[in-house]
């Protein structure tokens, strides 16, 4: 599910001083900008071309629009700048930050987002990329990223919040199995521990696939240190959401084959709790489609969890 492109701010709508600051970072005035769909932010996301002929991907947002998103831009800049050579991610070209507006200039990557439902070649290319990536970033090459258990402690407590304040439309099977789901979600905090650099937001709109089949993983603000298989489980959760593939077979043929089955189940349970709990909140300003996406993901993950537990 993509953001409504009409709701996204565009390059020409940025304040003149912000555009000038970004052009200073790029070293040349911007002659053209093409707004990009995808994601949920209402900030800018433009592929730009400068007078010198260089290209870049520029994303910008202000604290006034969304303070949390602005902080994520800053975090993404720090993490992207620290990624080692060989990681399939865009290079950071520079940052403009005046305390209110934060703009990142990143390497412009040619490629398409995978279609949904996933096509077989794109899916296998993405899974192969995640396997190679896990090998490349183990042990974790960035010391500043926090451990996954620390980052996910609050999100993975969703079943506790749901038990305390259950929604009216809570799935009857989930309501009946709340004690088991709460225990598994708590177990997930131990299951995700590891020494691999984890992206932790792997989904179709954060992947670009070029004509040769090379996959680039973009948007790194949620990176943490955790289990080598965690990103693949994240991706397969969204694959299951859109249907068309045997995710259990894919689990057995990817880096997730290294994981204990009960650990994979625990993570799926915990992710379902986060998505279901978040889906009932008021959406952030400019991100109206986010809650619908989270609810769809929660419903799909619950179906998968029920299949694993009952099966």
Domain ranges of the chain: 5-106, 120-310
- Please name the CATH architecture into which domain 120-310 falls: Alpha-Beta Complex (3.90)
Alpha helix (H) residue ranges in the chain: 16-26, 63-82, 120-136, 148-152, 158-164, 172-176, 178-191, 230-242, 247-252, 261-279, 290-310
Q: What is the pTM of this model?
A: 0.92
Owner of token pair 């792997």: 202
CB 227 within 8 A of CB 146: no
CATH number of 5-106: 3.30.200.20
Going residue by residue through the chain (311 aa), what tens digit of pLDDT does each one get?
333 444 689 999 999 999 999 999 999 999 999 998 766 678 999 999 999 999 999 999 999 998 899 999 999 999 999 999 999 999 999 999 999 999 999 999 999 999 999 999 999 999 999 999 999 999 999 999 999 999 999 999 999 999 999 999 999 999 999 999 999 999 999 999 999 999 999 999 999 999 999 999 999 999 999 999 999 999 999 999 999 999 999 999 889 998 999 999 999 999 999 999 999 988 776 666 889 999 999 999 999 999 999 97
List, for residues 199-214, the tens digit of each pLDDT value: 999 999 999 999 999 9
CA distance 58 to 48: 7
CB 150 within 8 A of CB 157: no
CATH topology of 5-106 equal to that of 120-310? no
Distances (CA, A) of 288 to 5, 65, 139, 241, 293: 12, 14, 38, 20, 10
């Amino acid at each position: 599910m993509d953001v409504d492109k009409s709701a996204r701010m565009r390059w020409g709508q940025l304040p003149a001083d912000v555009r000038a600051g970004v052009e200073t970072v790029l070293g040349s005035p911007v002659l053209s900008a093409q707004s990009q769909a995808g994601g949920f932010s209402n900030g800018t996301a433009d592929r730009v071309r400068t007078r010198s002929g260089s290209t870049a991907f520029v994303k910008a947002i202000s604290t006034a629009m969304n303070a949390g998103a602005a902080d994520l831009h800053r975090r993404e800049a720090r993490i992207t700048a620290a990624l080692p050579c060989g990681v399939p991610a865009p290079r950071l070209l520079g940052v403009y930050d005046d305390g209110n507006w934060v703009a990142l200039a990143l390497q412009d990557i040619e490629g398409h987002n995978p279609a949904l439902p996933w096509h077989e070649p794109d899916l296998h290319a993405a899974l192969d990329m995640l396997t190679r990536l896990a090998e490349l970033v183990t042990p974790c090459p960035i010391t500043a990223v926090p451990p996954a258990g620390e980052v996910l402690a609050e999100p993975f407590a969703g079943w506790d919040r749901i038990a305390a304040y259950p929604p009216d439309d809570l799935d009857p099977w989930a309501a009946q199995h709340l004690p088991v789901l709460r225990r598994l979600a708590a177990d997930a905090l131990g299951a995700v521990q590891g020494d691999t650099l984890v992206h932790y937001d792997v989904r179709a709109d954060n992947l670009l696939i070029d004509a040769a089949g090379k996959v680039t993983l973009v948007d790194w603000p949620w990176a943490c240190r955790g289990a080598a298989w965690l990103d693949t489980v994240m991706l397969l959760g969204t694959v299951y959401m859109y249907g068309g593939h045997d995710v259990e077979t894919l689990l057995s043929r990817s880096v997730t084959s290294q994981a204990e089955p009960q650990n994979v189940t625990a993570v799926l349970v915990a992710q379902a709790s986060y998505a279901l709990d978040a889906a009932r909140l008021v959406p952030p300003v400019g991100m109206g489609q986010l809650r619908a996406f989270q609810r769809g993901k929660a419903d799909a993950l619950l179906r998968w969890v029920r299949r694993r537990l009952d099966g």
